[in-house]
Structure formats: structure tokens, C-alpha cells
Amino acid sequence: MQPCCSSQIDRELVENEGILDENGHFNGFGGYMRAKVAKLKHQVHNNVVLKSELFKGLSIYVNGYTDPPAFELRKIFTENGGEYHHYYNHGFTSYTIASSLASLKFKNLRKGEYLLKPAWVTDSILFHTVLPIESYILKPSAAPSAQLKGGVDEFYQRSRLHLISTLAQDLKIFVAELRAKENPEFPSRSKLEGLGDEDGFKLDENVICHIDMDCFFVSVALKSRPALKRKPIAITHSRDANGKGYAEIASCSYEARKFNVKASMWMNEAVKLCPNLICLPYEFDKYKETSKILYSIISKYTLDIRAVSCDELYIDLTSLCKKMKISDPLKVVKVIRDDIEATTHCTASAGLGPNMLIARLATKKAKPNGQFYVNQKESSNLVKNVKISDLPGVGYSAMDKVRSELGIETCRELRKVDVKRLQEVFGQKQGKKLYDQCRGISEPFELTELTNRKSISCDVNFGVRLTTQDDLTAFLADIARNLASRMKSAHAKGKTIGLRLLIRSPGAPIEPAKYGAHGLCDPISKAFHLTEPTNDEQIILNTALSLVKHLKPVISDIRGIALQASKLDFLLFCKKPEATIELSESQMSLHQFLPKRRKNEKNDVIDLTKEDTQEVVVKKRKKKKATVKSAKDLTQYIGKLPKPDIFFCICGHPEHELSLDLYQPPQFEDILILRCRLYRLCLWEMWYELKEEFDDIYDSIFENYRAPMAWIEVVVGIQEEINRNSVRLFGLVALPDERLSTFIKGCD
């Protein structure tokens, strides 16, 4: 094997080709770019150990994400006699290697320009010959409307933000389930034996520890790539080294940070700062595996854990230290950190303090791979020197307000601002929180963080390109399925379903600069309040379709879709009450549902036992504009009406089988049952279209509420409006007990 210098590029060649003028300056921008390309080619090919000449005379350019990634393809290709180009040069670059490409770029391909799959390189190495390219030519993918099935799953499989949010919730559930077990065991506490101080034990304050993994994504990636340690690494979707990438950096090594490369930076900015930046792909399965191991390690010491994210958590060490009689909590943390590194091969930093805020600020001083303890007496001095932007929960928007309204930067200055002034600028809650934070006061450490979750959502805002109503329905069905699955995993049900759409702004380009991105959009949203919490996929989908019909978007302009469930009930923590408002049919007998008939009571009866009776028509009174705005308001008014004898309704829908609903409302709980039935019926159609019709209910029900037929008039009034939307009413009557069973048998 000999060193290969296939391009023979050196300083003399640059000068001889006229890239530099007589003064040693570049001949314009073109000269600069030629010099840059020459330099990159020299860096790539210099001192490469040649294994074969398999690809001699050929050159490749790697575009975007590939498997194996670009740096591995470069190594393979150059070691086997080929040239690697950082920039595509038509007429000089033999092939472009890519896994996918925008449809527009396929249309703009020039004659003689070929796009090959990465397998062409690896298979050629495997078979020791340059394989024909015909079987490896990359072809355009189908139109978005044809890819809807599974599209949401594919989006989430490659979404970093989705991983972070869902994995955090999964870990919270994991911790909650561990706590729910009786008599937990802590086998790793044996590693703390010998650290206790039996005679002089003293611990006068709470000790909260904040564990944060160092460059988590990078550390996980380097476990299988030890040769890349101590090199500038970035984790991103982009593999583009030409400085034009719009992908966002999720994590970068400390070596990359020396070049001022940071997380959340665009690739085109990072490459300018660090031309030798090595980009590695996401490895979501490995992140999940390592996170689960991290939390499992901690749970073997204590279950006083507050999960935050896949690489971050809080531990209350107070009870552990007291039980083991350990006065110095740093000794405990050192054992835990060593355990984490030995098991995961990733390092972790730790900050300790009397509360979560101080512990988190202390972690910044512990980075990287260290630990730092700030006690109660020292916490005030620590916080006053902290920048306001370093406080948890203070982002760009809040800092803009701080600078524009208050003109300050540090917590020392923030302490001089009155709490009322802060609440004027930031609102009651956020203003009080800032007032407390700059004084080192934190929210309490709570173990029930799962129940504090306000909502569960599914949001897709990349690659959404729809053309027809069927496309939209299929996409919403996919999102509804994902949302229902998350809610069930979280042991939660939601009472409010919200829909949010991103609509392309007027005048915005149809396709933005970043392929697949949503671009400039205007958000529109609407929410619907259910009568009872749910995590049923079909109910969520039906609600979403109703909301879409109300919002009336131009389907081709939709660039993002989000479904959110809020007002959550957590089944893991909430036991069902003994007496529920509504019982299922399997739980309720007919005798339980219908109370005993009172003696000497007269009723107006409509007999439906005759064969020729098909429908009940109640004579309408003169309509007036009513004040009833929703089913909730309707329930309140119905509650003032007298108690009819027996009540039932048979309703049908064009897409559903007939159903028999029974109503016997002598008590308030039964009124709620009636409301639930009406609400469900509305959900079959479009609630927002029917809402205006509800305003037309009779005023006379308030004037003649003592009439025994009043309830029937209210419901029939609603049913007749629903008839316009193809919901059929088959019957609505009051019957005595002895005739009800006969009628039910006739309807089976």
C-alpha cells in the first residue's frame, strides 16, 4: 500500500493555474472558490493509504443524508483510488450519491448527470468490481399525496424534537410506574456503604441534584466510533459540506464549540466557522436505550426522581443521605456518576443545591464531566451574578421584554425591580416567577410531575403537501391514531380536542428555501370541548374533521397540522369513583335505569306499539330567537324543568347502525346523561354548523316549562335541525313503564 495523491494538488499548482494574481491575491470570487476547492481536495486525498485502484478515474459528490454517512463514503472511495468532491462540478464529478432528492432537483438534472444510491459504493467494494449503475440510479419518489399512509410515522421516526418530547414523557411514566410498585428494592445502595458518618452525621438542608449528560447525542455516537474522539463533531440531518445546508445542529462536541459552533445553529453557519466539522446522523434507538439505562441506574439508588428529558433529571438526595447517614452528598453523586459512565460509556455532570434552580445553575459550573455543590448560604451569591437569560424558562422573547422594558441583563439588577412592575411586563405568574428566581427561590420538588402535564399533542409541520380532501382525511386519521396512542401510553384522557393548522401566507412562495419546510405561514386554530374525557382514536378523528370543516382551509395551502388533547385526566393516579355519572350498558340493568313509577300520577302518553306508527311529530309553537348557545347551557335550562315520567330516544345516522338511548331524568346525574347523549349526537355531524341552529330553540320552553311535553319539544327542536344534516329521528316519546319493554322488543 502506498500513499495516494490522486489530484496532485499543491501550492505550485494553485499559482500556475492563475488562481492568484501577481500580488498574490485571488482573481475575484471565482479564484477564491477554485482555491478553496483545491485546498479541500488536497486535504481529503493527502496521506490516504491506498488499498486498491477499484474506483480509479471516478469521482463522487455526496448530497444530503446517506447510509453509510458522507465521511464513511469518502474514506471508502478515496482508499480505493477514487476522488471525493466537496462540491459538485458538472463535467468533472462522475456521480452524485444520495438517498433522496427534491422533485424539483430531479427536473433540473442535466444530460450526463447521474444520481446513485449509496449501495453502489458499498456493493462494488463487496464484489471487488465497479458494478453497473443502472440498478442503483436514484428515482424520484411518489407525490406527497401518495405517501400519506405511514407518513406521520416516518416524520416522527426522524424528528429530533419528537424524540426529545415523547421520550421525556415515556421516562416520566417509567418513573411513575416504578413508584407505584410496592416495596421497591435499591440494590445499588450497597455501593454507598462506607460513606456514612455514624457519629458526626449532619445534614441541615434539602439536597437536590441535577444530572445532565455531557453532549449526549455526540457521546452516544462516539461509543461506536472511538476514532472520532477529540474531533469537532455535530449531530444533524445534514451531510452537506458546501455551506448551503439549512439543517439544524442538535448537539456538538466540545472540540466543535471551540470554533463557536453551537446547538440550534444552522449548518451553513457552522461550516463557515469550522470547515472540518464532521457531521454524524441521528441514532434514535441508541438514545432511547441509553436514556432508559440512565434512569434505571438512578432508580437502583432512589425513586425520588423528577424526570426532565432523555439526558437530564433531578434527584432529591435528602432522604437517601439521611438513611445512609452521609453528611457529604458529593460522595453519593460521585458514585452515581461513576456508575453511569461505567454502564453507558457516557459522562455526566452534576449540580447540587437546596432546590432545583440552584442545582441547575450549579451544573453549569460543573461542566464538563464534573460536579459542583452550592449550599443554602452560598445560593444567593451564586444567583445574583447569573445572567437573566441563563434562568430556566427565560427565552428570546422574554429577554427582548427584559431589555426593552427594563433595560437590564443580570439577576443583580433584576432584584431591584418591584414584583408589581415585573407582573405588569410579564403577567402575574411569570412576573412572580422571575421575582423569586433572581432571589434563588425555586418551585418545590414534586414527584407527581406526570399529573402536571397540561396537554398531549401531535404536530407535523414538515413535508405537509396535500391536494384533496381524501389526503387531508387520511393525514388527520394518522395524526389521530398517533395522538390516541400517546394518550394511552400516558394513561391519560382528554376533555378538549384542539386543531391547529399552518396556512401558507398570502404572497409566500409555494416552496420555501428549505425543502419540505412550512415556510411563512399564518396559524389558525379551533378547539372542541367533549362531554367526557376520551383517548379514543375515532372520537378524536371525528372531532378533528368537524373542526376542519368549520375552519374551511384551502387544502393545498396547508403546511402544518397539529392535534392537541388538553384538560387531561390521568388514570394512573385517579381512581374511578364508586358511583359514576354514566354507566355503560353492561353495568346497568333496565330496572336500575328506570326508577319505580309513582302512584296516582297522570301522564300524556303517545302509543308507538301500533305497527303503523313510525315517527312522533310534536306541534311547534311560534319560534323566537333563543338565548341557548351550547349543549351546556341547554342542560342548565333543562335542569329547571319538571321531572317527566320516562324518556327515551331512538336516533340513527346514515353511517351508523341504529341505537337506542334511554333517558330517565328524575335526578341531576341523569340530566348529565341527557347532555352527553345530545353532545355525542352532535359529534356525528359538524358541531359548528349545528351550533347556529341551536340558537333557534323555542323561547316557549321557559314560559310553559310545567307542560309534561316540554322536554320532548326541546329535544325534537334539536332533532329537526339535525335532520337537515341527514341524521334521521325515529322516535322521541314519553311512555309508562309497562309499555316500554314492548316497544324495545319491537325495535330490536
Annotated binding-site residues read 212, 311-312
Strands (E), 105-168: 115-116
Strands 728-733 and 647-653: antiparallel
| Residue 636, all three cell numbers | 342548565
d(CA 300, CA 210): 17
d(CA 491, CA 737): 41
Specify burial of residue 241 (Cβ count, 10 A radius: 0-12, 13-18, 19+): buried
Radius of gyration, alpha carbons of the chain: 34
**Unique residue bearing C-alpha cell 359529534:** 683
Return the H-helix or E-strand segment holding 561: strand 558-570
DSSP reduced 3-state for 522: strand
Question: For residue 207, which phi and psi values (nearest 5 degrees)?
Answer: -125, 110
User: What does the DSSP 8-state code read for residue 395?
Assistant: -
Instruction: Give, in order, the Cα–Cα distances in Å from 260 to each of 15, 235, 281, 327.
Output: 32, 15, 21, 40
CA atoms within 13 A of residue 546's CA, in its CB half-sphere: 25
DSSP reduced 3-state for 300: coil
Cite the annotated binding site for Mg(2+) by residue number.
Answer: 212, 311-312
Instruction: For 447-485, give one letter per residue: b (16+ CB within 10 A) or e.
Output: eebbeeeeebbbbbbebbbbeeeebbbbbbbbbbbbbbe
d(CA 272, CA 306): 40
Instruction: Give, in order, the Cα–Cα distances in Å from 51 to each of 25, 82, 406.
Output: 38, 11, 65
d(CA 33, CA 30): 5
Which distant-in-sequence residues (6+ apart) come within 8 Å of 71 by Cβ? 278, 279
Strands 278-280 and 233-235: parallel
d(CA 469, CA 583): 37
Strands 371-373 and 348-353: parallel
Q: Which of 369, 63, 82 is nearest to 245 (CA)?
A: 63
Q: Which of 404, 381, 403, 389 is nearest to 434 (CA)?
A: 389
| Residue 565, all three cell numbers | 388533547
d(CA 681, CA 676): 9
616 Cα distance to chain centroid: 50
